[in-house]
């Protein structure tokens, strides 16, 4: 059963006509509204400069958002009442008088104010300062989208400036992977069952893989991506956050600081990378022309907005170690890239083989027992084991136990943004990144950033493959391989 929010909130959306608002935020708010999870008095105030008034903005919403939510079945009555929630303020971020206009527009609206900054990071500080200049930072919540900075120094500069205006408990640094249902189920699997916790350690785990692979290229984001790269765009935030959840110790409760304290301990326990060893534990690649699902796609260097001689990586594979009692000696392999062979995000826990097999060599192979937590495109958790094939002889074959949540729970799964927006509305911080977590992640990746900025070019790989062969060779040195398809 869905639970209605107990908080009345005025949700102010900066970048109200942007791509993120169109694809994720407004559809997520509509789904929460349709499910009766928002209080009746809550309002959505879109802020942008492209539409002149509320009528023209609602026309934009009907043209660009309605078709997206209709893919899941449109309730016309719910859509009409959702539209009634929306107000609009045309605002020039460079004009202080416009923020007075925003303050006046919010004056008679009830509830806690949430300011969602679906804008570029260069606007975070100016917006926060302008909000403070008209007193709108008091008793409010601020949501910051990634990327939050370009490196440790710039991240600290943004956090310092925002922290002068909003207290840490008012700041929600969003990472949408933390809102995905299988990530939530990973917490439930580990900390709600006695079955897995005794196995979740170095004595029984051989290695862990975390992959976020995309078929898409940079699309229309060439200018942005060429100044960012996969390490900043995906590893520093998404992949290290997933790693910290997989490896964290059991928190004493699920309150925000208990969970984030345990994640921080993992990030601080990451083995520092010696600059002399970066080539051994970090692989960077850049896609060349290739074929994906029968369609020819161009090389990264020829994409719009990309410099022809670009050394920006579109692929990263890393070997990571955690220096603590639970995980000492267990390699964590992280991988992400664009224009790869498939779109998939998953966590693979490879358990150790049995120490001795009376059933033949197949029982001793690596990965015979593994847990696969699939985040996309389909969200599942599968436990793989060996079983006897029917017939004569003791011939073993891989079988799996599928945790099919959609068959047990009749409610539809909640999208990541919907869950996270409801957490903001209800003041729950557990699934948002705390500043000290972010700093620890930047500190760990910084030696790699510095090395890559000063050395050569990425290794080439053909679009439609799984990246440079060096990424597979890195795992082969540890007697394992990437899981690149499910049985």
- Catalytic residue numbers? 238
Among the listed residues 378, 357, 377, the one whose alpha carbon sits nearest the alpha carbon of residue 369? 357
Cα–Cα dist 378/439, whole Å? 32
Other residues' Cβ atoms within 10 Å of the Cβ of residue 196:
16
Cα–Cα dist 247/435, whole Å? 19
Percentages of the chain per state (helix, strand, coil), in multiples of 5: 40, 20, 40
Other residues' Cβ atoms within 10 Å of the Cβ of residue 395:
12
The per-residue DSSP string of 259-282 comes to: HHHHHHHHHHTBPPPPGGGHHHHE
Cα–Cα dist 38/150, whole Å? 35
Other residues' Cβ atoms within 10 Å of the Cβ of residue 426:
14
Residue 184 CB burial class (10 angstroms; 0-12, 13-18, ≥19) = middle
Cα–Cα dist 405/399, whole Å? 19
Residue 485 CB burial class (10 angstroms; 0-12, 13-18, ≥19) = exposed
Q: How many angstroms separate the Cα of 247 from the Cα of each of 43, 73, 131, 271, 349?
A: 39, 38, 39, 14, 11
Bond prior to 26 in cis (omega within 30° of 0): no
């Amino acid at each position: 059963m869905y639970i209605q929010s107990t908080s009345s909130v005025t949700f102010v959306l900066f970048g109200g006509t942007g791509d993120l608002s169109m694809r994720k935020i407004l559809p997520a708010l509509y789904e929460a509204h349709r499910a009766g999870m928002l209080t009746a008095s809550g309002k959505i105030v879109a802020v942008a400069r492209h539409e002149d008034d509320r009528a023209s903005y609602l026309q934009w919403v009907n043209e660009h958002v309605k078709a997206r939510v209709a893919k899941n079945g449109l309730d016309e009555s719910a859509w009409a009442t959702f539209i009634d929630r929306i107000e609009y303020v045309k605002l020039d971020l460079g004009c202080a008088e416009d923020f007075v206009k925003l303050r006046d527009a919010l004056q008679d609206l009830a509830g806690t104010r949430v300011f969602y900054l679906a804008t570029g990071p260069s606007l975070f500080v100016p917006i926060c300062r302008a909000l403070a200049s008209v007193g709108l930072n008091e008793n409010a919540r601020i949501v910051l989208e990634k990327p939050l900075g370009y490196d440790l120094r710039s991240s600290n500069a943004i956090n310092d400036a925002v922290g002068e205006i909003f207290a840490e408990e008012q700041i929600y640094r969003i990472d949408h992977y933390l809102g995905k249902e299988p990530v939530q189920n990973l917490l439930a699997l580990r900390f709600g069952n006695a079955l897995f916790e005794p196995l979740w350690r170095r004595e029984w785990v051989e290695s862990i893989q975390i992959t976020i692979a995309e078929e898409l290229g940079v699309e229309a984001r060439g200018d942005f991506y060429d100044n960012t790269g996969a390490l900043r765009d995906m590893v520093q935030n998404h992949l290290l956050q997933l790693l910290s959840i997989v490896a964290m110790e059991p928190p004493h409760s699920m309150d925000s600081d208990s969970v984030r304290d345990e994640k921080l301990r993992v990030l601080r326990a990451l083995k520092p990378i010696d600059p002399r060893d970066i080539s051994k534990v970090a692989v960077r690649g850049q896609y060349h022309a290739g074929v994906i699902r029968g369609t020819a796609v161009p090389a990264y260097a020829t994409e719009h907005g990309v410099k022809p001689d670009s050394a920006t990586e579109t692929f990263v594979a890393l070997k990571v170690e955690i220096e603590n009692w639970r995980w000492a000696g267990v390699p964590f392999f992280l991988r992400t890239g664009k224009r790869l062979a498939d779109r998939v995000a998953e966590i693979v826990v490879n358990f150790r083989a049995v120490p001795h097999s009376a059933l033949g060599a197949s029982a001793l192979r690596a990965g015979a027992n593994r847990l696969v937590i699939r985040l996309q495109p389909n969200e599942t958790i599968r436990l793989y084991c060996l079983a006897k094939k029917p017939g004569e002889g003791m011939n073993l074959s891989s079988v799996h136990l599928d945790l099919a949540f959609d068959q047990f729970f009749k409610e539809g799964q909640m999208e990541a943004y919907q869950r996270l927006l409801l957490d903001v509305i209800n003041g729950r911080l557990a699934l948002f990144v705390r500043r000290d977590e972010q700093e620890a992640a930047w500190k760990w990746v910084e030696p790699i950033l510095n090395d890559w900025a000063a050395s050569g070019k990425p290794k080439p790989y053909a679009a439609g493959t799984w990246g440079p062969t060096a990424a597979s060779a890195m795992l082969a040195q540890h007697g394992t391989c990437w899981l690149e398809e499910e049985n």
